[in-house]
Amino acid sequence: MSPRSSAFVLLVVCTIVLAGCSTSQPGTTTETTGTTLSGGTGKTTGVSWSVTITRIVDGDTVEFEYKNGTQDTARLLGVDTPEVHTANDPKEFEGVPNDDSGASCLRDWGHKASEFGRTELAGERVTIFTDPNEGPRDRYDRLLVYIRDDGKLFNYRLIAQGYARVYDSEFTKRDRFYSAESKAQREKIGLWECRDGQGETRTTNGAVGTTGLTIARVHADADGNDHDNLNDEYFVLQNSGNDAVDIAGWTISDDSGHTYRVPSGVSMKPGTTLTLYSGAGSNSATELYWGSDSAVWNNGGDTIIVRNAGGDVVLRKQYSG
């Protein structure tokens, strides 16, 4: 073989070896490098991936899997939920008392934020994407991302529904997030109830907006063992307004973050009632069944929180034992 031929063979072999090596490095495949997003003017707005959420670490941190099976951890941009693994500092949450009661209230909402994440995201295929002003990773090597699930921005929902405060940085959506935080603070939604001694001054029954919906009755203490008599645990929702209310896709949750989503096709005409039972059964125009395998509502007192399909609180009722 001639020197020129030998050199050509060596070049081909090296090229194949190097190509094989490069594709085996973490983060170099199409699956993990993502797709570049562009704005209307051609400006880069971030990089996106389609991933599966595999674990909720806490309210603002998740673990996920790319399509090729690679695992990674993400920290949600622009939000800070109360801690569940370490101590909370109430001073970080504007207006929350800087004492044990404030810290305890925040810890409760940290658990609720985690439960909300598990209910909404665990096992789901979602889109995550970065912000051109941030990242791509924090000092703990977590990918800094937004999560979009069913067309909704999960980071924003955490703020609007009171599960988190805005974590200030230069992220591009900060104005929108601060506006939602201000609204949540004014209406004492979610963790912002901690400003008033864990919500003791909240109204016990009332609608936010003009839906006309009220809680007509709460029956939290079932006969016998609550867990063995789930359909004797229920509450009654009533439309006291003048218009029909389409509640398909709305959610109903308690203080612990247990969440039920109203199925499609459910609407309440004026003057009608709808009973939600904790157990299993066949849904109808007047009865819905949560399908829970354990009791939901605390006999000693709890809060029923009704949110519309956009995640806004439309009704909150706090009851005592």
* DSSP for 91-140, written as a single string: GGSTT--SSHHHHHHHHHHHHHHHHHHHHHHTT-EEEEE--TTS-SB-TT
- Which range of residues forms the domain containing residue 267? 205-320
Predicted pLDDT at 210: 46
Asked whether residue 181 is domain-assigned, the answer is yes
Asked whether residue 7 is domain-assigned, the answer is no
Predicted pLDDT at 31: 53
Determine whether 142 is an active site residue: yes
Determine whether 316 is an active site residue: no
Do 121 and 185 fall within a single domain?
A: yes
The residue type found at 45 is T
Which domain-ending residue is among 140, 165, 196?
196
Do 99 and 146 fall within a single domain?
A: yes
Q: How many CA atoms lie within 13 A of 40 on its CB side?
A: 0
Which domain-ending residue is among 196, 222, 238?
196
SS3 217: strand
Backbone angles phi, psi at 110, to 5 degrees: -65, -45
Residue 215 β-bridge partners: 237
Backbone angles phi, psi at 143, to 5 degrees: -70, 130
Per-residue pLDDT of the chain (321 residues; tens, 9 = 90+): 554 555 444 444 444 334 443 333 333 344 555 665 444 434 445 799 999 999 999 999 999 999 999 999 999 999 999 998 888 999 999 999 998 888 989 998 999 999 999 999 999 999 999 999 998 999 999 999 999 998 999 999 999 999 999 999 999 999 999 999 999 999 989 999 998 754 333 333 333 344 688 898 999 999 999 999 999 999 999 988 888 999 999 999 988 888 999 999 999 999 899 999 999 999 999 999 999 999 999 998 888 989 898 888 888 888 876
Determine whether 115 is an active site residue: no
**Cβ(305)–Cβ(276) under 8 Å?**
no
Do 187 and 53 fall within a single domain?
A: yes
The residue type found at 128 is I
Distance CA(268)–CA(288), nearest Å, equals: 12
Do 187 and 245 fall within a single domain?
A: no
**Cβ(161)–Cβ(183) under 8 Å?**
no
Domain count for the chain, please give it. Answer: 2
Which domain-ending residue is among 145, 168, 196?
196
- Who's near 206: CB < 8 A, 6+ residues apart? 315, 316, 317
Helix ranges, the chain (H) = 3-23, 30-33, 100-121, 154-160, 174-186
Asked whether residue 107 is domain-assigned, the answer is yes
Do 165 and 244 fall within a single domain?
A: no
Distance CA(275)–CA(288), nearest Å, equals: 6
Asked whether residue 172 is domain-assigned, the answer is yes
∠164-80-117 over CA atoms, to 5°? 65
Asked whether residue 6 is domain-assigned, the answer is no
The enclosing domain of 211 has a CATH number of: 2.60.40.1260
Predicted pLDDT at 204: 32
Do 184 and 218 fall within a single domain?
A: no
Cis bond before residue 90 (omega within 30° of 0): no
Per annotation, catalytic residue among 115, 142, 181, 307:
142
The residue type found at 21 is C
Asked whether residue 170 is domain-assigned, the answer is yes
First to last CA, the chain: 93
Could you tell me which of 169, 76, 72, 87 has the C-alpha nearest to residue 117?
76
Predicted pLDDT at 44: 43
Residue 261 β-bridge partners: 251
SS3 160: helix
Predicted pLDDT at 241: 82
Predicted pLDDT at 208: 37
Do 46 and 190 fall within a single domain?
A: yes
Predicted pLDDT at 321: 66
Could you tell me which of 91, 87, 57 has the C-alpha nearest to residue 74?
57
Asked whether residue 87 is domain-assigned, the answer is yes
Per annotation, catalytic residue among 75, 157, 195, 316:
75
Asked whether residue 115 is domain-assigned, the answer is yes
The enclosing domain of 128 has a CATH number of: 2.40.50.90
Distance CA(283)–CA(33), nearest Å, equals: 45
Predicted pLDDT at 313: 81
Do 177 and 276 fall within a single domain?
A: no
